[in-house]
Structure 1
């Protein structure tokens, strides 16, 4: 028979503790605790992460082409505008001389400078040749037309052109981004700093088109719903929070809105509304192009997304 072995247990009140590491301590810890999967904020975070992952997966085949698509869409409004001036040359001269009181000759020069600058600048942006000078020239056209056609105090025109300027700043940032990749081994601190500020300015200016959409037109339940969600996405783009997700959402929303609201092709060519719809359509394409570049490049250093990587 085996012998019984009695082992005396030391009293619990002494130096021995049955749970020396405190794993059984029911009191709350001030340190890290796992996220509660039933928490609504945690569910929202998981959903946002899933959406981001899906965007990353499904845009992968398009990713190499996004910069070219974005650049083309940004300048397509300038290409359309130059074509419209050439095909309506007489009407443009009549308007400038009759309503804007341009003297004969100066009106011709004004239109000629606009057409040449838009064609050359747009081609340079698409071909990625001297993008900085091209952006400067196209910015000059935006300002020159605002004063030349007397639209500087038109709120809708002003907001739309702020967004176009934002798109042009995205082109400028994209050229800096490309140059950084080409010269990755060289010190470029000052250029990186400039790029951060240009990206921030571009992000903020891009959202003004949607603000213009919100303040014009008739209101309905669907319009209120889209405006609230769109405004939230615009704020996320401006501060750089989930910027790729929110920019992708705005690309889809603005593209659908553009096709159904600015459908200039369904209006008779003799109708005066056709030109306005056509102008709005191509300007919206320009802002969509800027958002596509944002999806490709990311929001930059001055953003919530970038700060979250640091902390």
Structure 2
């Protein structure tokens, strides 16, 4: 028998009062689609927190490791393909040979040292700036500044670095507070970095859209990813959307960019390896979003206030 209001029961049992909060009959049908989505997404977020609570302390470190993976891969690429790199820059880009050698050595040192500092959270402000400068200089040196794929993907990596930088700044400020004293207000800088980081981070998806062949599988990922990216940008259900996005990208990366299946002499191996570690870096940035949330400039935060 469905619930039809308290009067029905009060007429039959006049001396008994039905509590206004009593759960009599199904009430989910009265919820709007928006309320149902809110309830569903909240359950998903709670499940994520429940099943991964033991990993939560390690999520920032894992995210930072994934984030800088593309820099380690680039360092190994330069080292293992030294002659090809020198030949290309010297003969096709027409740089002096000594300048080419200095440029490549500096790149390897900065990327390897800077990436390690980001992972262990030491001098991360210097390391972040150094890695961003490397991205810009490489774009200029290799003539890729006007390549859409390069711009979108590397801006996404920069967004992840900004998120890692933000997380470390807040932690460092907290460590300066004396025990027993109220915490200082550390949100002023954090909100700007989180906003800039998540805006830059979703640019990878735009590059994925532009390079897609519009198959049914990719069309599904594009549609779901578009909604997720929009949510991340405006800061609505940010953790939920970032979790969906990183899951899609991680699965796509494993099944599409399988560079390990090709021989080292096959050109496809080199290309797919670059793609794999680029996407892995964005997955790392999304992990930081899942861990830190959207920050003050977001609908999620405004909902807490109002």
TM-score (norm 2): 0.87
Counterpart of 1:138? 131
Unmatched segments (≥5 aa) in structure 1: 1-33
Counterpart of 1:73? 66
Q: 1:243 aligns with which of 217, 238, 241?
A: 238
RMSD: 1.6
Aligned residues of 1:35 and 1:42 also touching (Cα < 8 A): no
Runs of 4+ aligned residues of structure 1 deviating over 4 Å after TM superposition are 184-189
Aligned residues of 1:36 and 1:42 also touching (Cα < 8 A): no
Pair 1:279-2:293 in alignment? no
Higher helix content, 1 or 2: 2
Unmatched segments (≥5 aa) in structure 2: 1-26
| Per-residue deviation, residues 241-288 of structure 1 (Å, max 9, x unmatched) | 111111111111110010111111112211112111111110111111
Q: How does 1:132-211 map to 2 (within 5 A)?
A: 132-184=125-177, 185=181, 188-189=184-185, 192-211=187-206
Cα 1:186–1:87 shift into 2, 3 Å: farther
Q: 1:305 aligns with which of 279, 285, 300?
A: 300
Aligned residues of 2:156 and 2:282 also touching (Cα < 8 A): yes
Q: How many residues align structurally?
A: 277
Q: 1:88 aligns with which of 76, 81, 85?
A: 81
CA distance in 1, matches of 2:125, 2:187: 15
Give the CA deviation at 1:36. Answer: 7.0
| Per-residue deviation, residues 199-251 of structure 1 (Å, max 9, x unmatched) | 10100111011111111131122221221111100111111111111111111
Q: 1:265 aligns with which of 260, 264, 267?
A: 260
CA distance in 2, matches of 1:103, 1:81: 22
Counterpart of 1:293? 288
CA distance in 2, matches of 1:236, 1:182: 32
Q: Secondary structure at the match of 2:255?
A: helix
Counterpart of 1:103? 96
